[in-house]
């Protein structure tokens, strides 16, 4: 018989069937669209397992024609069979290229390479041995308004290098409704390519559903695609379905959803994917979506990716909106790297030009053992007015050398609102780089919030950065967040906030940081604020830095540093506490409120006592070694019981002149009295107050009296202390 050429997905395949003996057509139930031809050449009996069933093929009744045995029951071609509650018609393949019917077919291949197409209906296809290409549905609607359903197919490739396609559907021009069906594909051993749904809508207004696929690659090097959906030009609604992909052993590539909306106004949902790479070197992609031009709504779905052992690349959502006004949600991803060297990306989202609303999702990333790179959110807004939320990330690097990034976001040109989210990063053992938020606004008027970060360095040499934020040119509002950083054991570098406002009028808040260096040689920076040009207001935050007691190491502690702030308000209350044994360098460039002095505002009679009250505003006790009052006649009166311990956040009251000793120490003289206090940690500090005594007419006051017009002042001190708690510098003090 002469050969016949058939077109399969653009490839010309020549099929030659040579028949040596009598041609027999066995079943009267076969439709006109199917001709089944059997050769008298007997095939060897074989058995496979597919979807929980043991399936054998061979000549079980010695009539030189193959039958199929399913779970011990023999069926001939054309027989009806019930599997898992579904009724199928048995089809036994005898030629290289075999087409099913539009009904539900149970098709059993040969032990050689087959191309089997199920056509319409819910098909159960078994490829048997060698390298097979199995297609659950191959449907095309042409022009017009079509409703196309691919059916729910089960495909088993078994041993060999197989290509399994759940559904291949094209809608053509027109307004189409396309459903890919719920497919189950088993690749078996060797290197397989499994595609759950391949759907194209072309031009027109389409409704496309990829449906829920289950793909299992088995042993070998596999390519698994959950859904491949293309909307074409027009207004499309595209849903990728809920996919479950298992790579098995070997080097696998798993893609949950690959969706392109094309030009037009699109609504795209990637579905909820579960991807398991198994052992080997894997690449897992939860969602890959592009909206194209137009106004798009894109959702990446909630993905769960497990890389297993080996060197893995895991990407939860990869979404790009291109031009237009987009609403993009990356989904809530969970990624597990397992043992090995992993790259985990929670969300990768780009909005391009337009007015975009971008949400990165709430990501959970686990790197496991090995050298890992974990990225919670990587978001770029492009040109335009953007609202970007990075999501709340949880990153765990596990053992090994890790790089963890909570949020990586860029706003681009335009007026942006960017929030980094609340991140929790745990580096585990090893040498780690942990960055809570990394946000840059570029040109435009930006509102940027770094989020509240918690970073744990664990054992090893760590670099921890709470927030890294840059506003660039424009009118920016930048908030660094409240960071908590733990360096653990080892040599650590901890940075609470690093914020740059760029050119323009900026409002920058560094946040309240808590830094704990732990054991080892540490560098701790509470807030690093740079105002650059313009009139800036910089707040460094309230930092608490613990240098670790009884540690035989040298620590450098810098509470706050503010650079190029032309109008700087310093309102910090930083505390440096350490055991005096190790050498600790504590540098302060801040002004501290030590105590509030007050005599009250009530009238003071000549010769009556004056109450001097110190109200401590710091968390440590304040030790005053000298307290004097200088009278208007230059008499020096000294407090009679030194030293004075002002309790932490407490008060101390001295009565003048009763508690002071000296010559002419009384309140009989009007004028200015000067109080000077010397503390244990700083240079002498002075502040002046004036009592104006006024003689009040008897007709008004009823008696000769004194009215005190004021005795309220702030006693401020500033210290620079270096080395074993000894004072090493001069202080400039401003009083108010």
At 676-730, the pLDDT tens digits run 777 655 446 666 555 554 443 333 333 233 333 332 223 333 333 333 333 333 3
Residues 204, 235 contacting (CB under 8 angstroms): no
**Residue 606, CA atoms < 13 Å, CB-side half-sphere:** 11
Place of tokens 């109450």: 611
Is 9 a domain residue?
no
CATH number at residue 714: 2.60.40
pLDDT of the residue at 231? 63
Q: What is the spatial distance between Cα 71 and Cα 200, in angstroms, rounded to a whole number?
A: 38
Task: Give pLDDT, residue 621.
Answer: 63
Torsions phi, psi for 698 (to 5 deg): -60, -30
Shared domain check, 582 and 440: yes
> Do both 559 and 641 map to the same domain?
no
Domain tally for the chain?
A: 2
The boundaries of the domain holding residue 445 are 417-590
Q: At residue 514, what are phi and psi to the nearest 5 degrees? A: -125, 120
- Residue 71 CB neighbours (<10 A): 10
pLDDT, residue 197, reads 57
For residue 701, which phi and psi values (nearest 5 degrees)?
Answer: -85, -20
Q: Where are the beta strands (DSSP E) in 605-656?
A: 610-616, 622-630, 636-639, 644-646, 651-656
Would you list the DSSP string of 87-118? Answer: EEEEEE--SSEEE--SS-EEEE--SS--EEE-
* Rounded Cα–Cα distance for residues 114 and 69 (Å): 20
Q: Residue 496 falls within a domain, yes or no? A: yes
Domain boundary among 555, 590, 625: 590
Q: Which of the listed residues 590, 618, 646 is the one where a domain comes to its end?
A: 590
Contacts of 36 (CB under 8 A, 6+ apart): 25, 26, 27, 30, 77, 91, 92, 94
**Residue 20 burial (CB count, 10 A):** 7
Are 446 and 567 members of one domain?
A: yes
Q: Write the pLDDT tens digit of every residue in 83-120.
A: 878 788 887 776 666 777 777 778 877 766 666 766 66
| Contact between residue 693 and residue 586 where contact means Cβ atoms under 8 Å apart | no
Taking CA atoms, 83 is separated from 46, 71, 185, 301, 303, in Å, by 20, 10, 16, 33, 32
Residues of the chain with pLDDT under 50: 1-45, 138-151, 160-163, 165, 168-170, 172, 179, 190, 547-558, 560-603, 682-683, 693-736
DSSP code per residue over 149-168: E----EEE--SS--EEES-E
Cβ atoms of 450 and 465 within 8 Å: the answer is no
Question: Domain check: are 441 and 577 in the same one?
Answer: yes
pLDDT at residue 650, rounded to an integer: 73
475 and 578 belong to one structural domain: yes
Structure tokens at 644: 């004075």
* Same structural domain, 597 and 643: yes
- Nearest alpha carbon to residue 224 among 158, 302, 276: 276
pLDDT at 657: 87
Helix (H) or strand (E) segment spanning residue 438? strand 432-440
For position 706, what pLDDT does the model report? 31
Q: Are residues 703 and 672 in the same domain?
A: yes
Question: Residue 172 — left, alpha, or beta (φ > 0 → left; ψ -120 to 50 → alpha)?
Answer: left
DSSP letter at 683 equals S
Of 329, 217, 230, give the one whose Cα is nearest residue 272. Answer: 329
Q: Report residue 608 as tokens.
A: 């009556």
Instruction: Name the token pair of 531.
Output: 């105002």
- Domain annotation covers residue 371: no
Say what the pLDDT of residue 637 is: 93
Spatial contact of 317 and 286, defined as CB atoms under 8 Å apart: yes
Tokens 């193959």 belong to 66
Does 565 lie in the same domain as 489?
A: yes
Q: Is 384 a domain residue?
A: no
- Please check whether residues 568 and 619 belong to one and the same domain: no
Closest to 194 (Cα-Cα) out of 145, 236, 252: 252
Contact 199, 227 (CB under 8 A): yes
Q: What is the pLDDT of residue 180?
A: 52
- Phi first, then psi: what are they for 593, rounded to 5°? -90, 105
Residues 688, 649 share a domain: yes
The answer to whether position 315 is within a domain reads no
Angstrom distance (rounded) from CA 329 to CA 323: 16
> What is the model's pLDDT at position 587?
38
Tokens linked to 731: 């202080």
Q: 330: which 2 tokens?
A: 């990356």
Buried b (16+ CB within 10 A) or exposed e, 144-182: eebebbbbbbbbbbbbbbbbbbbbbbbbbbbbbbbbbbb
Give a yes or no: residue 443 inside a domain: yes
Residues 559 and 430 in one domain: yes
User: 700 — phi, psi (to 5°)?
Assistant: -95, -50
Long-range contacts of residues 698-706, Cβ cutoff 8 Å, at least 24 apart:
705/603, 705/605, 706/603, 706/604, 706/605, 706/606, 706/608
Residues whose CB is less than 8 angstroms from the CB of residue 540 and which lie 6 or more positions away in sequence, other chains included: 510, 526, 527, 529, 559, 560, 561, 562, 570, 572, 590
Q: What is the pLDDT of residues 509-558, one digit of tens each?
A: 666 666 666 666 666 666 655 555 555 555 566 555 554 434 444 444 44
Interatomic CA distance for residues 316 and 197, integer angstroms: 20
Q: Kindly state whether residue 188 falls inside one of the protein's structural domains.
A: no
Per-residue pLDDT of 403-435, as tens digits, reads: 676 776 667 677 776 777 777 776 777 776 676
Question: Looking at the DSSP assignment, which residues form a beta bridge with residue 12?
Answer: 7
Give residue 570's pLDDT.
Answer: 30
Which tokens hold the place of 428? 């585990």
CA distances from 155 to 56, 195, 326, 444 (A): 16, 11, 38, 54
Q: Are residues 542 and 682 in the same domain?
A: no
- Within a domain: residue 469? yes
What region, left, alpha or beta, does residue 710 occupy, with left being phi > 0 and alpha being psi -120 to 50 degrees?
left
**Of 590, 621, 646, which marks where a domain is finished?**
590
């Amino acid at each position: 018989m002469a050969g016949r050429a058939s077109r399969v997905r653009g490839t010309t395949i020549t099929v030659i069937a040579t028949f040596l003996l009598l041609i027999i057509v066995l079943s009267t139930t076969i439709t006109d669209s199917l001709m089944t031809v059997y050769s008298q050449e007997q095939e060897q009996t074989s058995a496979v397992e597919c979807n929980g069933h043991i399936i054998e093929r061979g000549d079980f009744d010695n009539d030189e024609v193959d039958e199929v045995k399913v779970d011990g029951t023999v069926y001939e071609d054309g027989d009806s069979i019930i599997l898992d509650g579904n009724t199928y018609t048995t089809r036994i393949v005898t030629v290289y290229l075999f087409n099913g019917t539009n009904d539900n077919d149970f098709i059993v291949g040969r032990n050689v390479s087959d191309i089997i197409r199920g056509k319409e209906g819910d098909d159960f296809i078994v490829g048997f041995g060698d390298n097979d290409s199995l297609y659950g549905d191959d449907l095309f609607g042409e022009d017009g308004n079509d409703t196309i359903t691919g059916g729910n197919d089960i495909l088993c490739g078994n041993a060999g290098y197989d290509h399994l396609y759940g559904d291949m559907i094209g809608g053509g021009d027109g307004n189409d409704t396309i459903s890919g069906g719920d497919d189950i594909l088993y690749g078996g051993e060797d290197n397989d390519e499994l595609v759950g749904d391949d759907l194209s809508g072309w031009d027109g207004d389409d409704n496309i559903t990829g449906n829920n696929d289950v793909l299992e690659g088995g042993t070998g090097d596999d390519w698994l695609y959950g859904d491949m959906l293309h909307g074409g030009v027009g207004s499309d609604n595209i849903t990728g379905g809920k996919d479950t992909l298992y790579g098995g052993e070997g080097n696998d590539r798993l893609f949950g959803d690959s969706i392109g909306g094309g030009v037009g106004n699109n609504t795209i949902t990637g579905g909820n994917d579960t991807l398991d790479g198994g052992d080997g070197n894997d690449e897992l992609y939860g969602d890959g979506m592009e909206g194209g031009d137009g106004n798009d709504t894109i959702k990446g779905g909630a993905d769960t990716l497990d890389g297993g052992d080996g060197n893995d690349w895991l990407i939860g959502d990869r979404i790009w909106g291109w031009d237009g006004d987009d609403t993009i949600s990356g989904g809530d991803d969970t990624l597990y790297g397992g043992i090995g060297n992993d790259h985990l990306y929670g969300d990768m989202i780009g909005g391009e030009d337009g007015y975009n609303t971008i949400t990165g999702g709430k990501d959970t990333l686990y790197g496991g053992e090995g050298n890992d790179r974990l990225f919670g959110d990587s978001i770029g807004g492009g040109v335009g007015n953007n609202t970007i939320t990075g999501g709340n990330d949880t990153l765990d690097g596990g053992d090994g050398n890790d790089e963890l990034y909570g949020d990586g976001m860029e706003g681009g040109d335009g007026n942006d609102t960017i929030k980094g989210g609340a991140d929790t990063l745990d580096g585990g053992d090893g040498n780690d780089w942990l960055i809570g938020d990394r946000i840059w606004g570029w040109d435009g008027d930006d509102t940027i919030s770094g989020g509240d970060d918690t970073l744990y360095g664990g054992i090893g040499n760590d670099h921890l950065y709470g927030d890294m934020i840059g506003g660039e040119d424009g009118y920016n509002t930048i908030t660094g967040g409240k960071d908590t950083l733990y360096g653990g054991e080892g040599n650590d570098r901890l940075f609470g906030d690093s914020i740059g406002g760029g050119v323009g009028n900026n409002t920058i808040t560094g946040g309240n940081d808590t830094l704990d260096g732990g054991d080892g040689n540490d560098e701790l920076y509470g807030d690093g604020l740079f105002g650059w040009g313009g009139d800036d207001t910089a707040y460094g935050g309230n930092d608490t830095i613990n240098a670790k007691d009884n540690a035989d190491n040298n620590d450098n502690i810098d509470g706050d540093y503010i650079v190029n702030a032309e109008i700087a308000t310093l309102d910090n209350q930083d505390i440096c506490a350490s055991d005096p044994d190790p050498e600790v360098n504590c540098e302060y460039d801040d002004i501290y409120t030590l105590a509030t002095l007050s005599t009250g505002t009530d009238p003071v009679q000549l010769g009556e006592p004056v109450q001097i009250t110190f109200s401590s505003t710091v968390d440590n006790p304040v030790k005053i070694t000298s307290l004097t009052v200088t009278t208007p006649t230059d008499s020096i009166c000294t407090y009679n019981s030194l030293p004075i311990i002002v309790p932490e956040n407490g008060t101390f009251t001295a009565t003048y002149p009763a508690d002071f000793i000296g010559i002419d120490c009384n309140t009989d003289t009007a004028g200015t009295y000067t109080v000077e206090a010397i503390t244990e940690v700083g240079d002498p500090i002075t502040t002046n107050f004036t009592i104006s005594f006024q003689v009040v007419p008897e007709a008004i006051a009823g008696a000769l009296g004194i009215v005190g017009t004021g005795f309220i002042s702030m006693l401020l001190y500033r210290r620079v202390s270096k080395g074993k708690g000894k004072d090493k510098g001069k202080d400039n003090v401003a009083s108010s």
